[in-house]
């Protein structure tokens, strides 16, 4: 037990982290996921043979983070199609697995509409399943490309906003390779700054209650050799007050048409702190995260998670299970408030960086224009 993290301290493993892949063993196609609930203690893979297994993996956060949820949702539809299950039923279950990240429904819709179109055209379920899988693969590839472009645009923006270099960047939750077909969103920008010799320090919020910052972002930062320091979420205020933060970089689960940003709970307080301390607050997200159908922040559904995630703690090496399986840190029967996300209004966001460039200041019109320019005329 004492030395289970030794390898992580001296991490020399490749920086690329395989988080999701489609495999076709003789027993039939499967979706293989890196189980993120077990990180950083161990790298364990989960093999999904049907959509219900994937729905469970999504709910338990074995697979998580907005862009990856989209990719997983698309592969989940393909899995149901290839294995001959009811595709519409699988699509509904996958889409409903978590409510806030719009990418999940985008991914599910892309694969299921490819399936329906091919089925109408050919009448052949096998050809339709092939089309659904192709749509999932395309989304996976497009996300990798978007990730690289966001990193480049984000780095340019940082250079403009902070011309002196030597950035000290604060980030929240996990937004790297673990959530993406590529190197992620906000963390991809920090990584680009690191590679350019511009990152002095990555401040990593631990991100209570499920510790995506401590378990996952620190894990990724260590693998990349970034200079990082972990802090408790409530230490951020004193860090700003000490003048130690040059910029905040976060991802997003859903961006409403007015530019309101839903992201991991704790993002909004960081935006307030950043405004008070005159520090840029930058959101990095692919255009698949912009949701034209949701007009404003108040219309975003925020996922409420079970109270035991707050009233108990558990070690990452213990598989996630239900209430009562962790170590209690509150009296039995304590009620917990456990929203998974919060919403930051557009006026607190300095810029939204997408694969098509940055929007700053953040307005409904500027976002709509960016989406229209990219061919995603879904806004408005
Ligand atoms: C690019 S990732 C952006 C968000 O999905 C990320 O910051 C986040 O909040 C993830 O939450 P999670 O509950 O771990 O899925």
pLDDT in tens, 223-271: 999 999 999 999 999 999 999 999 999 999 999 999 999 999 999 999 9
Per the annotation, does 223 bind a ligand?
Answer: no
Q: Residue 375's pLDDT is what?
A: 74
Q: Model ipTM? A: 0.98
Q: How far is the CA of 21 from the centre of ligand 1 (A)?
A: 20
Q: Residue 181's pLDDT is what?
A: 95
Which CATH number describes the domain made up of 6-143? 1.20.120.420
Neighbouring C-beta atoms of residue 322, cutoff 10 Å = 8
Per the annotation, does 65 bind a ligand?
Answer: yes
- Tell me the CATH architecture of domain 150-373: 3-Layer(aba) Sandwich (3.40)
pLDDT in tens, 307-325: 999 999 887 666 556 777 8
Q: Residue 376's pLDDT is what?
A: 63
Does the annotation count 124 as an active-site position? no
Per the annotation, does 141 bind a ligand?
Answer: no
For residue 341, give the ligand 1 atom closest to its CA: 9
For residue 284, give the ligand 1 atom closest to its CA: 1
For residue 340, give the ligand 1 atom closest to its CA: 13
Q: Residue 15's pLDDT is what?
A: 54
Q: Which residue from 100, 175, 266 has its CB within 8 A of the most atoms of ligand 1, so it is best to mutate?
A: 175
List the domain boundaries for the chain.
6-143, 150-373
Q: Residue 164's pLDDT is what?
A: 87
Active-site position among 143, 246, 253, 258: 253
Q: How far is the CA of 363 from the centre of ligand 1 (A)?
A: 23
Q: How far is the CA of 132 from the centre of ligand 1 (A)?
A: 25
Per the annotation, does 225 bind a ligand?
Answer: no
Q: Residue 333's pLDDT is what?
A: 93
Q: How far is the CA of 168 from the centre of ligand 1 (A)?
A: 21
Pocket-forming residues, ligand 1, beta carbon under 6 Å: 61, 64-67, 101, 173, 175, 179, 184-185, 212, 251-253, 263-264, 340
Which regions of the chain are under pLDDT 50? Answer: 1-14, 377-380
């Amino acid at each position: 037990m004492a030395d289970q993290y030794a390898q992580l301290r001296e991490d020399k493993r490749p920086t690329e982290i395989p988080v999701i892949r489609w495999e076709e063993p003789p027993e039939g196609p499967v979706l293989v996921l890196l189980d993120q609930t077990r990180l950083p203690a161990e790298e364990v893979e989960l093999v999904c043979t049907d959509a219900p297994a994937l729905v469970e993996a999504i709910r338990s956060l074995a697979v998580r983070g907005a862009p990856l949820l989209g990719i997983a949702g698309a592969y989940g539809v393909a899995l149901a199609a290839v294995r001959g299950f009811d595709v519409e039923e699988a699509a509904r279950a996958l889409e409903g697995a978590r409510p806030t990240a719009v990418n999940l429904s985008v991914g599910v819709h892309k694969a299921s509409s490819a399936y329906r179109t091919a089925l109408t055209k050919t009448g052949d379920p096998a050809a339709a399943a092939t089309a659904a899988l192709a749509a999932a693969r395309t989304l996976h590839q497009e996300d990798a490309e978007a990730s690289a472009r966001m990193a480049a645009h984000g780095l340019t923006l940082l250079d403009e906003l902070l011309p002196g270099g030597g950035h000290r960047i604060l980030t929240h939750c996990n937004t790297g390779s673990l959530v993406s077909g590529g190197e992620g969103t906000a963390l991809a920008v920090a990584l680009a700054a690191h590679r350019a010799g511009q990152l002095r320090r990555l401040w990593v919020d631990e991100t209570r209650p499920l510790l995506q910052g401590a378990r996952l972002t620190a894990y990724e930062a260590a693998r990349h050799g970034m200079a990082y320091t972990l802090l408790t979420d409530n230490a951020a205020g004193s860090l700003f007050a000490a003048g130690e933060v040059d910029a905040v970089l976060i991802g997003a689960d859903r961006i409403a048409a007015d530019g309101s940003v839903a992201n991991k709970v704790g993002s909004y307080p960081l935006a307030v702190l950043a405004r008070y301390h005159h520090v840029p607050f930058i959101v990095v997200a692919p255009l698949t995260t912009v949701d034209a159908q949701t007009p404003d922040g108040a219309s975003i559904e925020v996922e409420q998670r079970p109270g035991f995630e707050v009233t108990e703690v558990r070690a990452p090496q213990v598989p996630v299970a239900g209430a009562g399986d962790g170590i209690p840190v509150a009296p039995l029967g304590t009620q917990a408030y456990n929203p998974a996300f919060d919403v930051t209004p557009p006026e607190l966001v300095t810029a939204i960086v997408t694969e098509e460039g940055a929007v700053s200041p953040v307005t409904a019109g500027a976002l709509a224009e960016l989406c229209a320019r990219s061919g995603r005329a879904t806004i408005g």
